Amino acid sequence: MRNELLRRWALVDKVYRALLAVGCVAVCLPYADDGLTVLPPAAGAITGTYALRWLWAGYLVGPGRWFGLRAGGWSFGVGAVVRTSLGRGGPRYLRRVPLPVAAPAALGTRTGAALRPRLLLPALLLFLAAAALVSQLLALVGGGFGRAAAVLCLLGAVRPVLLTAAVSSGPTAGDLPAGLPEVLATLQRDVAGARRLLDALPEGPGIREATLSVLLAEGRYRELVELAAEFTALEDEYTALVHARALAYLDETGAATDADRAAFRTAYATARRLPRELRSGTDLDALQELALGRADPAVVAARSAAAVASPPLRRSMAYATLALALYRAGRAEEARTALASARRTGPASARLAFLADLLAAPAEV
């Protein structure tokens, strides 16, 4: 369900951004020949866009939840992601420019609840009423500023309407196992403990994805690749992220085949199309550079990923990739320092043990 929502969300975003661009041009174009007089409507367009982003966030925490939608994490500010943390409602991303802007990082359904179509119309009517009210308040400012702000705010209502309509026509999700969040939280500090909790859970939505994460930490890459390949065949694009990483980790152990390397290229291309928030703090780009035999660019990419304070296991893996990239670049001492950072950051994963043995071996001439 989550992946279907991501695909639908991406389609809605394309339509919405096109409408927003047309709206900005339409409200600013009449003032373009008058020099500085174009600045007030331009500022109004920015204000209206800002207002509609808060309306969209409010829709998801209010009427959207009645309908059955929820935000799968939140993003704060604008620009590149510089810090990631885990919360009860999903990951939280802090962006480089700390403007008071909140946006959902992904979409999902409320835990333990499916979409409720009978609440679709009331939820949308409340949202549209709020959008119309805010638009009218902005219009009261008057002039080009008020006109542009009002128009752009009303255009913002298109996004939730289109998204809700798209989601309501798709499949719904069932209940998530109650112990699944505990498995994922435990995995950030204790791989063996996460395995015990996972094995005790019944089959259900989300179990397979959690299994992939645990297998990755356990170093059971071949088993993971086979399971992920089956899942990706069902067009689960999100799984391509862990699939690509597992293929790369398998290759660094020397157990990958030519078919595995070709599969990595395909999985990498798929994972790169995922929203940036989902890839934030991962070593995906560094692994691609290593696969191409470019150690120095891999060092830069891995260091950048490790600098983002993502969940412990993900950050630990980024440091581990940094250690491998430094080792291949002939910087063994720096590689050992990076590996020590990986150990301090995350749980004792199988990959850290493998890299410890690799770095302890005599360097290749």
Distance (Å, whole) CA 196 – CA 18: 48
CB contact at 8 A, 71 and 61: yes
The percent of residues above 70 in pLDDT, for the chain, comes to: 81
What average pLDDT does range 111-125 have in this prediction? Answer: 63
Residues 83-107 have pLDDT tens digits of 777 666 667 778 878 888 887 776 6
245-281 tens-digit pLDDT: 999 999 999 999 999 999 999 989 888 887 776 777 8
**Does position 340 have pLDDT exceeding 50, yes or no?**
yes
Phi, psi for 242 (deg, rounded to 5): -75, -30
What percent of the chain lies above the pLDDT cut of 90? 33
Residue 299 has a pLDDT of 96
Predicted local confidence at residue 120, as pLDDT: 67
- CA-based angle 327:328:331, to the nearest 5? 45
**End-to-end CA gap in the chain:** 50
Tokens 């409200």 locate to 27
Q: Enter the tokens of residue 277.
A: 């928030």
Q: Give the pLDDT band (50/70/90) at residue 363.
A: low
Confidence of residue 351 (pLDDT cuts 50, 70, 90): very high
* Residues 345-355, mean pLDDT to the nearest whole number: 95
Task: Give the mean model confidence (pLDDT) for residues 16-21.
Answer: 81
Q: If pLDDT is split at 50, 70 and 90, which confidence band does 48 have? A: confident
What pLDDT was estimated at residue 167?
Answer: 64
Dihedral (Cα; 63, 9, 155, 24), 10-degree rounding? 150
Average pLDDT over residues 199-209: 78
User: What would the pLDDT profile of 163-190 be if each residue is shown by its tens digit?
Assistant: 777 666 654 444 455 677 788 889 989 9
Contact at 8 Å (CB) between 267 and 231? no
Residue 172's pLDDT is: 45
- Give the pLDDT confidence of 71-81 residue by residue, as tens digits: 777 888 887 77
CA-nearest of 195, 203, 198 to 176 is 203
pLDDT at 337 over 90: yes
Can you give the pLDDT at residue 238?
A: 64
Higher-pLDDT residue of 190, 143: 190
Helix, strand or coil for residue 159? Answer: helix
pTM: 0.69
User: What number of other Cβ atoms are within 10 A of residue 50's Cβ?
Assistant: 17
The yes-or-no verdict on residue 234 having pLDDT over 50 is: no
179: enclosing H helix or E strand: none
